[in-house]
Amino acid sequence: MSDRDDRYKAMLFEHPERIPVNCYMLPATWIKYREALDEIVARHPGLFGEPPPERDYDAVGGTYVEGEHVDAWGCVWENIHTGMEAMVKKHPVPTREAVHTLRAPVEDIGFPHGFMYLRLGDLRGFEELMLDFGEEPPELQQLLDTVLAYNLRQAEIRLRSLAEPG
Protein backbone atom coordinates (compact mmCIF):
# COMPACT_ATOMS: atom_id res chain seq x y z
CA MET A 1 0.00 0.00 0.00
CA SER A 2 1.36 3.44 -0.88
CA ASP A 3 1.92 6.14 1.74
CA ARG A 4 -0.83 8.15 0.06
CA ASP A 5 -3.30 5.25 0.32
CA ASP A 6 -2.31 4.68 3.95
CA ARG A 7 -2.92 8.35 4.79
CA TYR A 8 -6.29 8.25 3.08
CA LYS A 9 -7.29 5.10 4.97
CA ALA A 10 -6.20 6.73 8.23
CA MET A 11 -8.36 9.79 7.53
CA LEU A 12 -11.36 7.51 7.01
CA PHE A 13 -10.53 5.29 10.02
CA GLU A 14 -10.19 2.28 7.70
CA HIS A 15 -7.26 0.60 9.48
CA PRO A 16 -4.16 1.72 7.58
CA GLU A 17 -1.17 -0.64 7.46
CA ARG A 18 0.82 1.90 9.45
CA ILE A 19 -0.10 5.04 11.35
CA PRO A 20 0.96 7.96 9.14
CA VAL A 21 3.33 9.89 11.37
CA ASN A 22 6.74 11.41 11.02
CA CYS A 23 9.30 12.78 13.41
CA TYR A 24 11.17 16.02 13.21
CA MET A 25 14.36 17.05 14.94
CA LEU A 26 15.09 20.61 15.93
CA PRO A 27 18.11 22.07 14.14
CA ALA A 28 19.89 22.28 17.53
CA THR A 29 19.66 18.47 17.72
CA TRP A 30 21.38 18.11 14.34
CA ILE A 31 24.02 20.67 15.33
CA LYS A 32 24.83 18.71 18.50
CA TYR A 33 24.52 15.05 17.45
CA ARG A 34 25.33 15.22 13.72
CA GLU A 35 26.36 11.82 12.22
CA ALA A 36 25.13 9.90 15.27
CA LEU A 37 21.63 11.22 14.63
CA ASP A 38 21.95 10.42 10.92
CA GLU A 39 22.59 6.78 11.83
CA ILE A 40 19.35 6.61 13.81
CA VAL A 41 17.36 8.39 11.10
CA ALA A 42 18.72 6.03 8.41
CA ARG A 43 17.48 3.01 10.39
CA HIS A 44 13.91 4.37 10.56
CA PRO A 45 12.86 5.84 7.19
CA GLY A 46 9.21 5.15 8.04
CA LEU A 47 9.42 7.77 10.77
CA PHE A 48 11.97 10.19 9.37
CA GLY A 49 11.68 9.78 5.60
CA GLU A 50 14.62 9.16 3.34
CA PRO A 51 17.74 11.02 4.47
CA PRO A 52 19.23 13.55 2.07
CA PRO A 53 22.41 12.49 0.25
CA GLU A 54 24.31 15.25 2.07
CA ARG A 55 23.38 17.23 5.15
CA ASP A 56 24.68 20.58 6.37
CA TYR A 57 24.31 20.09 10.10
CA ASP A 58 24.84 23.78 10.79
CA ALA A 59 22.29 25.09 8.27
CA VAL A 60 19.62 26.93 10.23
CA GLY A 61 17.03 29.32 8.88
CA GLY A 62 13.84 31.18 9.63
CA THR A 63 12.82 31.57 13.23
CA TYR A 64 15.40 28.95 14.27
CA VAL A 65 18.08 31.65 13.99
CA GLU A 66 18.80 33.52 17.21
CA GLY A 67 17.17 36.94 17.26
CA GLU A 68 13.86 38.62 16.54
CA HIS A 69 11.68 37.68 13.56
CA VAL A 70 8.37 39.06 12.27
CA ASP A 71 6.11 36.64 10.39
CA ALA A 72 3.59 37.39 7.64
CA TRP A 73 0.79 37.86 10.20
CA GLY A 74 2.81 40.44 12.15
CA CYS A 75 3.71 38.17 15.07
CA VAL A 76 7.09 39.09 16.57
CA TRP A 77 9.05 35.93 17.39
CA GLU A 78 12.08 35.81 19.66
CA ASN A 79 14.71 33.09 19.63
CA ILE A 80 17.35 33.10 22.36
CA HIS A 81 19.39 30.13 21.04
CA THR A 82 20.05 29.22 17.40
CA GLY A 83 18.51 25.88 16.50
CA MET A 84 15.79 25.99 19.14
CA GLU A 85 12.15 27.01 18.79
CA ALA A 86 11.27 30.69 18.91
CA MET A 87 8.33 32.10 20.87
CA VAL A 88 5.91 34.85 19.98
CA LYS A 89 6.73 37.78 22.24
CA LYS A 90 4.53 40.42 20.62
CA HIS A 91 1.03 39.53 19.45
CA PRO A 92 -0.39 41.64 16.61
CA VAL A 93 -3.97 41.44 17.92
CA PRO A 94 -3.58 42.15 21.65
CA THR A 95 -7.08 43.61 22.04
CA ARG A 96 -10.48 42.67 20.73
CA GLU A 97 -10.66 46.04 19.00
CA ALA A 98 -7.52 45.13 17.05
CA VAL A 99 -9.32 42.11 15.56
CA HIS A 100 -11.30 44.54 13.41
CA THR A 101 -8.13 45.71 11.65
CA LEU A 102 -6.47 42.30 11.21
CA ARG A 103 -5.90 41.24 7.61
CA ALA A 104 -4.63 37.83 6.58
CA PRO A 105 -1.33 37.80 4.72
CA VAL A 106 -1.53 38.33 0.99
CA GLU A 107 1.44 36.04 0.48
CA ASP A 108 0.93 32.29 0.62
CA ILE A 109 3.25 30.94 3.27
CA GLY A 110 1.47 27.62 3.86
CA PHE A 111 0.32 26.14 7.12
CA PRO A 112 2.10 26.63 10.41
CA HIS A 113 2.57 23.78 12.83
CA GLY A 114 -0.53 23.64 14.99
CA PHE A 115 -2.89 25.11 12.42
CA MET A 116 -5.85 27.08 13.82
CA TYR A 117 -5.35 26.88 17.59
CA LEU A 118 -1.70 27.88 17.67
CA ARG A 119 -2.23 30.61 15.07
CA LEU A 120 -5.01 32.11 17.22
CA GLY A 121 -2.70 32.04 20.23
CA ASP A 122 0.11 33.64 18.23
CA LEU A 123 -2.21 36.43 17.15
CA ARG A 124 -3.96 37.12 20.47
CA GLY A 125 -1.70 35.73 23.19
CA PHE A 126 -2.67 32.80 25.41
CA GLU A 127 -4.51 34.67 28.17
CA GLU A 128 -6.52 36.86 25.81
CA LEU A 129 -7.42 33.85 23.68
CA MET A 130 -8.61 31.90 26.73
CA LEU A 131 -10.81 34.86 27.72
CA ASP A 132 -12.18 34.94 24.16
CA PHE A 133 -12.99 31.23 24.34
CA GLY A 134 -14.74 31.69 27.68
CA GLU A 135 -16.68 34.86 26.84
CA GLU A 136 -17.28 34.18 23.11
CA PRO A 137 -17.28 37.81 21.94
CA PRO A 138 -18.18 38.52 18.28
CA GLU A 139 -14.50 39.33 17.66
CA LEU A 140 -13.64 35.68 18.28
CA GLN A 141 -15.80 34.60 15.35
CA GLN A 142 -14.31 37.36 13.21
CA LEU A 143 -10.80 36.18 14.11
CA LEU A 144 -11.73 32.57 13.37
CA ASP A 145 -13.21 33.58 10.02
CA THR A 146 -10.07 35.50 9.03
CA VAL A 147 -7.72 32.64 9.88
CA LEU A 148 -10.07 30.06 8.37
CA ALA A 149 -10.28 31.93 5.05
CA TYR A 150 -6.49 32.05 4.89
CA ASN A 151 -6.17 28.36 5.84
CA LEU A 152 -8.71 27.32 3.20
CA ARG A 153 -6.73 29.24 0.59
CA GLN A 154 -3.59 27.39 1.68
CA ALA A 155 -5.43 24.05 1.57
CA GLU A 156 -6.60 24.73 -1.98
CA ILE A 157 -3.04 25.53 -3.05
CA ARG A 158 -1.74 22.36 -1.38
CA LEU A 159 -4.43 20.19 -2.97
CA ARG A 160 -3.69 21.62 -6.41
CA SER A 161 0.00 20.83 -5.96
CA LEU A 162 -0.82 17.24 -4.98
CA ALA A 163 -3.00 16.79 -8.05
CA GLU A 164 -0.24 17.97 -10.40
CA PRO A 165 1.96 15.23 -11.88
CA GLY A 166 5.54 15.04 -10.66
- pTM of the predicted model, to two decimals? 0.83
Nearest to 94 by CA among 102, 106, 86, 83: 102
Q: Return the pLDDT at 164.
A: 67
Nearest to 131 by CA among 92, 90, 87, 95: 95
Q: Return the pLDDT at 165.
A: 67
Q: Return the pLDDT at 166.
A: 57
Q: Return the pLDDT at 130.
A: 99
What is the Cα–Cα distance from 69 to 124, expressed in whole angstroms? 17
What is the Cα–Cα distance from 59 to 31, expressed in whole angstroms? 9
SS (H, E, C) 34-55: HHHHHHHHHHCHHHHCCCCCCC
Q: Which residues of the chain fall short of a pLDDT of 50?
A: none
* Residue pair 18/3 in contact by the 8 Å Cβ criterion: no
Residues 6+ apart with CB under 8 A from 157: 108, 110
Q: Return the pLDDT at 2.
A: 80
Specify which residues 78 forms β-bridges with: 68, 87
